[in-house]
Amino acid sequence: GSFYESFDITWGDGRADIYETGQLLTCTLDKVSGSGFQSKKEYLYASLLGVIAFCQTLMNSVFPPELRFAITKHFNTLFQLFSSYCYFDITEIDGVNTNELYDAVQLYLTSSTVTSNRLSLTRATNSSSTTFSLSSNDSIADTFDSATVLWEHVVAQRQTQTFAWRPMPDEKRGFTLRVEKKDKSFILGSYLDHIMETANEIRRKNQDRFLYTNSRGGGGMDSRGLPWESVPFKHPSTFETLAMDPAKKREIMEDLKDFAECESFYRKTGRAWKRGYLLYGPPGTGKSSMIAAMANYLGYDVYDLELAEVRSNSELRKLLMKTSSKSIIVIEDIDCSIDLKNRSKKKQSYYEPEMMLTGSGLGGDEGKGNTITLFGLLNFTDGLWSCCGSERIFVFTTNHIELDPALLRSGRMDMHVYMSYCTFASVKILLRC
C-alpha cells in the first residue's frame, strides 16, 4: 500500500505532502499554521469512539452539571437495582484516621488461602520480614464458606490539597469488595471477622518482637514522649530447651494456648482478656528462661517492668497504658521490690506507709507522689486500668512465695508455677539439647 491509496491530506495549505511514490508522508508546522491528513477507510472502533466523544461534548455543553449528576445518580441506582452484586469501599484513610480494615485486608489477601499470580513485595528498613500485597488496580477472587467475593485494589492519584491537618499520601488507595447480594449479611459479619483474625495471625508471625524496659537511668520519657525503651527480643529459650517436668510443661503450654485462642470466652463471660502467672522457686532455676519461652511460644512482646524506677501509682498506670496488646508484662523478683509479706498478719490498709513498695528507693509517701503502693500494684494487675488493652499476660517472679494473698489470688495470678532444681526428667531434656 501507499499513502496515496489510503490517506487524504485534509488541511495545511501545502505544508503536508507525500513523496517517494507514496511511501513518505510529511507534515509541517510553522508559525502560521499546521497541517493534517485523514485515513480514507473508516474503522468501526475509531468511529464509535468519535460518536461517544461527540455525544459527551454535546451533553457537557447542553446539560448543566446538576442535571448530569442527577442523571448519573439515577442511572447508577437503576443499575444497582438490577445487579445481583453490591459493592463496599474500604479506603486506606478514613477521614484523618488510618483504616485498620484496609491494612487487615492487605495482609489477608497475601495469605496462602488467597492465591494470585501477581503480588507486590515490600521490605521495610531494618525489618527481617518481607510482606506481599496485591498490586495496584489488580483484582483477586476469594471464597469463604461457599460464597465467592471479588477484591479490587483501587489506586488513584490524590488531587493536590491546599490544606490538610496532616500530610496525606500522594495516592488514594482502597479496596472495593464485590459481594453477591444474597451473601451480604453473612460476608459483613463472619468474613470480615475472619479477615481481621487472619491478619492478626500473620502480623504475629511476621513481626519482629521487642523487649521493652522502663529503666532508662533517670526515669521519665524518651524524646518521643514514650515511657518504654525497646530492643529487639532475641532470647533463644523455648519450651523445647526448657528443663522441667514434661507434664507441668505441657500444662503451661496448653494454658497459654487456651488463653491466646479464647477471646470469645473472655468476651462472653465479661472478663478482661488477661492472665497472670507467678513463677517462684530458688535463684537460677529458669524463671527468666520460662518467660522467654512463653514469649517465643506466643510471639508476644515482653515488657520488663522495673518497679524501682516507678515513682508513683499514676506513673505505673501510664506505663500500663503504653503497653501494647499481645504482650507479657514482667515484674521480676517481686519479693525484693515489695515490703509486705502478708496483709492479714499486719492488719493494715493498702494505703498505709508500711504497705508501700520500698523498691522505688525514694521512700516518700503517695501524697507526695513519689512512691507506689500495693493498692497501685493490685490495680495495675486487676483494676479497671488493667483492661485498657487486650491479650496481655502478667508474670511475677519471686524466690519466696510468702506474698500478700491479694496479689496471689486467682484473677491476678491465675497459675502458680514452682520452678524447682533439676529432676531426672529435666536433666534428660538438658542432655538432649
Ligand X SMILES: Nc1ncnc2c1ncn2[C@@H]1O[C@H](COP(=O)(O)OP(=O)(O)OP(=O)(O)O)[C@@H](O)[C@H]1O
Q: Is 191 helix (H, G, I), strand (E, B) or coil?
A: helix
CA–CA gap between residue 184 and residue 164 (Å, rounded): 35
Q: Which is nearer to ligand X, 153 or 287 (CB)?
A: 287
Q: For residue 353, what is the DSSP state?
A: G
Query: Which residues, 6+ apart, have CB-to-CB distance to 324 below 8 Å?
Result: 301, 389
> Interface residues with ligand X (CB under 6 A)?
242-244, 283-289, 399, 419
Tell me the CA distances in angstroms from 355 to 144, 197, 331, 372, 381, one per residue in order: 56, 43, 18, 9, 17
Shortest Cβ 235–ligand X spacing (Å): 10
Q: Which is nearer to ligand X, 284 or 369 (CB)?
A: 284
Q: Is 234 exposed, middle or buried (0-12, 13-18, 19+ CB in 10 A)?
A: exposed
Shortest Cβ 385–ligand X spacing (Å): 28
In single-letter form, the type of residue at position 366 comes to: E
CA–CA gap between residue 325 and residue 388 (Å, rounded): 9
Q: Which is nearer to ligand X, 289 or 296 (CB)?
A: 289
DSSP notation for 275-303:
EEEEEE-STTSSHHHHHHHHHHHHT-EEE
Shortest Cβ 293–ligand X spacing (Å): 9
Query: Which residues, 6+ apart, have CB-to-CB distance to 317 below 8 Å?
Result: 376, 379, 380, 385
Shortest Cβ 250–ligand X spacing (Å): 15
CA atoms within 13 A on the CB side of 160: 1
Q: Which is nearer to ligand X, 288 or 323 (CB)?
A: 288
Grid coordinates representing 314 are 499514676
Shortest Cβ 380–ligand X spacing (Å): 21
Shortest Cβ 338–ligand X spacing (Å): 15
CA–CA gap between residue 305 and residue 320 (Å, rounded): 10
Q: Which is nearer to ligand X, 150 or 336 (CB)?
A: 336
Shortest Cβ 335–ligand X spacing (Å): 10
CA–CA gap between residue 161 and residue 169 (Å, rounded): 11
Shortest Cβ 246–ligand X spacing (Å): 12
The residue nearest ligand X at its CB is 286
| Under 8 Å between Cβ of 373 and 315 | no
| Under 8 Å between Cβ of 324 and 318 | no
CA–CA gap between residue 203 and residue 209 (Å, rounded): 11
Q: Which is nearer to ligand X, 62 or 431 (CB)?
A: 431
Q: Which is nearer to ligand X, 370 or 420 (CB)?
A: 420
Query: Which residues, 6+ apart, have CB-to-CB distance to 430 below 8 Å?
Result: 243, 422
Shortest Cβ 424–ligand X spacing (Å): 13
Phi-psi region of 74 (alpha: psi -120 to 50; beta: other; left: phi over 0): alpha
Q: Which is nearer to ligand X, 287 or 326 (CB)?
A: 287
Q: Which is nearer to ligand X, 142 or 306 (CB)?
A: 306
In single-letter form, the type of residue at position 268 comes to: K
Shortest Cβ 316–ligand X spacing (Å): 22
Q: Which is nearer to ligand X, 286 or 389 (CB)?
A: 286
